[in-house]
Amino acid sequence: MTDPTYTTIKVSSAKRVGKIQLNRPAALNALNAETMEEVVTTAVAFDADPDIGAILLSGSQKAFAAGADIKEMSEQSFTDMYAADWFRRWEELTRLRTPVVAAVSGYALGGGCELAMMADIIIAGTSAKFGQPEINLGVIPGMGGSQRLTRSVGKAKAMDMVLTGRHVDAEEAERIGLVSRVVPDGELDAEARTVAELIASKSKPAAQMAKEVVAAAFEMPLASGLQFERRIFHSLFATEDQAEGMDAFANKRKPSWKHR
Ligand code: CAA
């Protein structure tokens, strides 16, 4: 899986978890075009791998990612940005069916915060600092911050973050619903891996469909979302794992999933 030509990420896999670690320490993991290519290509490959049940995305102790690469962007004109449809490829991460866990310590700013929000679960170390500081560069969020942040934390906090550019610490991030859990920095890697391995140990179709229906709540009106959920629920009764899971419960034993 690891492509030796990758220069901005480290890739590994173990126990059904594929791991992508951002690795541009000199630039605090700023996201340039190369990083986008490497992260998305690897994530899409993990998504297609039957032996992978969860993807773990992490950075370094100091920075998950300090944003899109400002130096790379600074020379671009409107027509350059428009012609390349700058950042579009990141959207492919939101179409992955495999659950994605982001482990965030240090800075998750601008595109770093937006990348974390493309994951399904964010686990933060106590040092994590989230923010959308693009306003300080004379621009606005461009990788989904204005939309995903608003849907995650509501208008009041999203406006506060996007208009002032201030950093939100891990405690506040958990309080406003931006992250799922906060743990001491020293426990972050182990906690995120435990969560990813737990998800990867479930019935794969059930985990993937669970992700799909929760994600649909971001897109659908309530009545359509509820109907979608019910139909997916019904469809799981066509799987061997539904029979196995319910039989295991009734017989007080651990389920042995057929589809992982
Ligand atoms: N792009 C390019 N390089 C970056 C970067 C970024 N987003 N963030 C940090 N770096 C580089 C710095 O330029 C510096 O490089 P040099 O040593 O070559 O000068 C190196 O990383 C270390 O950074 P600092 O010396 O600034 O480290 P610090 O500890 O003093 O400060 C920081 C850390 C507060 C995160 C600061 O680096 C910072 O403010 N970074 C920019 C944050 C930002 O504005 N992010 C949003 C980018 S725009 C965006 O993301 C658009 C979008 O919506 C997708």
Give the pLDDT mean for 103-132.
98
Q: Is the pLDDT of residue 182 over 60?
A: yes
pLDDT tens-digit readout, 5-37: 899 999 999 999 999 999 999 999 999 999 999
User: 70: Cβ below 6 Å to ligand 1?
Assistant: yes
pLDDT tens-digit readout, 75-93: 999 999 999 999 999 999 9
**Which atom of ligand 1 is least distant from the CA of 133?**
44
Q: Mean of the per-residue pLDDT values for the chain?
A: 97
pLDDT tens-digit readout, 162-174: 999 999 999 999 9
Instruction: Give residue 260's pLDDT.
Output: 84
User: 68: Cβ below 6 Å to ligand 1?
Assistant: yes
Q: Is the pLDDT of residue 2 over 70?
A: no
pLDDT tens-digit readout, 121-154: 999 999 999 999 999 999 999 999 999 999 999 9
Please say whether the beta carbons of 121 and 180 come within 8 A. yes
* Strand bridging mode 168-169 / 129-131: antiparallel
Tell how far the Cα of 156 is from the centroid of ligand 1, in angstroms.
Answer: 26
Instruction: Give residue 5's pLDDT.
Output: 85
User: 106: Cβ below 6 Å to ligand 1?
Assistant: no
User: 56: Cβ below 6 Å to ligand 1?
Assistant: no
pTM of this structure? 0.97
Query: Which residue has the least CA distance to atom 15 on ligand 1?
Result: 27
User: 30: Cβ below 6 Å to ligand 1?
Assistant: yes
**Residue at 65: amino acid letter:** A
- Strands (E) across 141-205 are located at 168-169, 181-183
Query: Which residue has the least CA distance to atom 27 on ligand 1?
Result: 28
Tell how far the Cα of 193 is from the centroid of ligand 1, in angstroms.
Answer: 27
Q: Is the pLDDT of residue 3 over 70?
A: no
ipTM: 0.98
**Residue at 203: amino acid letter:** S
Give the pLDDT mean for 172-188.
98
Homologous superfamily (CATH) for 204-251: Lyase 2-enoyl-coa Hydratase, Chain  A, domain 2 (1.10.12.10)
Q: Is the pLDDT of residue 103 over 80?
A: yes
Pocket perturbation via mutation, ligand 1, pick of 22, 31, 32, 70 by most ligand atoms within 8 A of CB: 70
| % the chain with pLDDT above 70 | 98
Tell how far the Cα of 36 is from the centroid of ligand 1, in angstroms.
Answer: 17
Residues 6+ away with beta carbon under 8 Å from 4: none
Q: What class is the 9-201 domain?
A: alpha beta
Name the residues annotated as catalytic. Answer: 68, 111, 114, 134
Hey, where are the domains in the chain?
A: 9-201, 204-251
Tell how far the Cα of 186 is from the centroid of ligand 1, in angstroms.
Answer: 24
Distance (Å, whole) CA 196 – CA 207: 11
Give the pLDDT mean for 227-235.
98
Instruction: Give residue 1's pLDDT.
Output: 54
